[in-house]
Chain A
Amino acid sequence: MGDWKTPAELRYAETDEWFAADGDVVTIGITDYAQDQLNDIVYVEFRDAGDAVDAGDSFGEVESVKAASELYSAVAGEIIEVNSALEDSPETVNADPFGAGWMVKIRTRDLAPLAGLMDAAAYDAYCDSR
């Protein structure tokens, strides 16, 4: 147990997304633990750039040989960019979940929800308990 990576600088949701804030832009992806649990990812689909999302809204879905899962944003705002390269090579999410496997960037006016998410230590403990 515990052999997944959890970068210290990110924030984590119980639904296994990671969040990285840079100014008012938040980049979102799924964690190493999540990709490992899902197994080989074969399909991703995101809402369009320009779409507005509320905190708690789904911004897309990911499908593996095992299961299909919704992806949730903890922040409200506008999707300004999606990683469309993943549509052709969804396996990138397995290979590099925190790097090239990023999924969407959302411009937000309210970064406060990120403070309510888990830090790396809390997320590791949460995964260990599952």
Chain B
Amino acid sequence: MESSVTTPQLQPLIYDIGSPGRLGVNLPECDVPKVELPAALMREELPLPEVGEVQVVRHFVKLSKLNYSIDQGIYPLGSCTMKYNPKINEDAARLPGFAQLHPLTDESGSQGALFLMHELQKWLGEISGFPAVSLTPAAGAQGEFAGILMIRQYHIDRGEGQRDLILVPNSAHGTNPATVTMAGMDVLELPSNDQGNVDMDALHAACEGELRDRIAGMMITVPSTLGLFESTILEVIATVHEAGGLMYMDGANMNALMAAVKPGALGFDVMHYNLHKTFSTPHGGGGPGSGAVGVNEKLAPYLPGPIVEIVEGGDPRHAEADVGATYQVARHAQGNGGRHTMSPLHQPPEEDAATEPPLYGFVMPEKSIGRLKAFHGNFGMHLRAYAYIRVYGDSGIRDVTRYAVLNANYLRAKLMATYTVPYPRYCGHEFVLEGHFADAEDVHALDISKRLMDYGFHPPTNYFPLIVPEALLIEPTETETKAELDEFVAAMESIAEEARRVPELLRLAPHTAPVRRLDEVRAAKDLVLCCAPALPRQYAGD
């Protein structure tokens, strides 16, 4: 197959395209007195690009073409939920009232932002079935850390500080055991059965054996990292609760559950949300994460703070009126190419001279595990997640989940004819293939992924979960149309044929990317760390 994709060329550095004296801007006359800088701070060699405006623009546009982003096409990186990020989120985040709000502004001057955070706490609570939410964790792993610290403190306060074991299935995200270790507890790994579910015999043995009194809880991802809903989840939860442990849900895969299943109603005690995945705030180099945590009444006093609460009465109708206005969007991404009709983000309740809006304030929960992040978490992400939920509304959020699950099952069903699907049952928002063929022994999952780049697609997640040989974890998300999915299927089928006919094509791929196959061994072994030289001592630290 000859690809129609043209190969973008690597670009010279901006320093190498200028010429001495060329300027991008003409600076105005200096209107303050000139002062000589200390001689020790002056540098002879200080490379600055000397380029005109058009060169700068072309340079960065060319560089941007070397990248691949969700704005270009499907990005089926399993477990990462690389959905399209609606541009209205960015509009909201750039509203000057939010963008220019200083984090040290006192509460009376930031009621709008506090209102928004309070609403987001409530909505996340509603979506997950938890009565209390903290937005402060900076990303998913910090949300996990918060959750496990809360579980630990809960046991200590009940005089059961000996509970130091967290059960983790072997299909878990690597962050789960890492979190347990960071929190000073120990991991007890549980095997999966041939259905991809937690092995119930092993769970019962752990919860009813000699370790029973040491069990602090369990961390589990639902759907699992195999993309499968734990069909025995209620028994799992009951078994761990029976042993005195608490249940933590890793919310990384919440895109398969929204408005369909409430983790709180299943019996979970705590979960984290990845606002940057499920609620479309840009991630993967495009922005910071946000790992809000939701808890039930047992753990609410331990939430990391500060959280936003109504600190002084006011008329609740002010908030209610605003929440009640549902902003329905042109149904859904699928079918209309991801376009949204915009509704106003903020529609204040009708002014009523007789009533005052409530006063929002920051509160530290009674037995809080403390602060995890400066100020109030990644507020810009809260804002985007708020805009996302607001735009979709409750029925739109349900459609997000339905289409995410439908798209994944469509791809799975289509690809089952060509690839081995180790767990051939309905999946959630993602599924695993085995990226190898009995009659093409030298071809591995990595080769298939690299070859996909030649077809113009971002590769899926490779070699995860670890329990599937040559795993390719594929998550199309709800924002892809059937046409886009069909193109992806066609590419995967074509690659499977090439694997048998011309395996070299795969093993040497990519052929059309700006750089060819990278030497992963060398990249992992020969680290080159470069740091700018430190300032002379007399100027450091002042």
Contacts and interface: CB of A to CB of B under 8 A. Distances in A.
Nearest to B521: A40
Interface residues of B, number: 9
Q: Is the interface of B mostly helix, strand, loop or mixed?
A: mixed
B521 A67 contact: no
Interface string B465-504: 0100100000000000000000000000000000000000
Contacts of A40: 520-521
Nearest to A41: B521
B469 A42 contact: no
Interface in A59-105: 63, 65-67, 90-91
B537 interface: no
A42 B520 CA distance: 9
B469 A37 contact: yes
Contacts of B463: 66-67
Contacts of B58: none
Contact of A42 (B462, B466, B525): B525
A91 B520 CA distance: 13
A43 B524 contact: yes
Nearest to B525: A42
B176 to A, nearest CB: 14
Contacts of B525: 42-43, 90
Nearest to A90: B525
Contacts of B466: 67
Among B462, B466, B469, B524, chain A packs the most CB atoms within 10 A around the CB of B524
20 contacts: A37-B469, A39-B444, A40-B520, A40-B521, A42-B521, A42-B524, A42-B525, A43-B524, A43-B525, A63-B524, A65-B520, A65-B521, A65-B524, A66-B462, A66-B463, A67-B463, A67-B466, A90-B525, A91-B521, A130-B469
Given A65-B520, A66-B462, A130-B469, 9 more contacts: A37-B469, A39-B444, A40-B520, A40-B521, A42-B525, A43-B524, A65-B524, A67-B466, A91-B521
Interface of B: 444, 462-463, 466, 469, 520-521, 524-525
Interface of A: 37, 39-40, 42-43, 63, 65-67, 90-91, 130
Ranked 9 nearest A-B pairs via Cβ: A42-B524, A66-B463, A65-B520, A40-B521, A42-B525, A42-B521, A67-B466, A65-B524, A65-B521
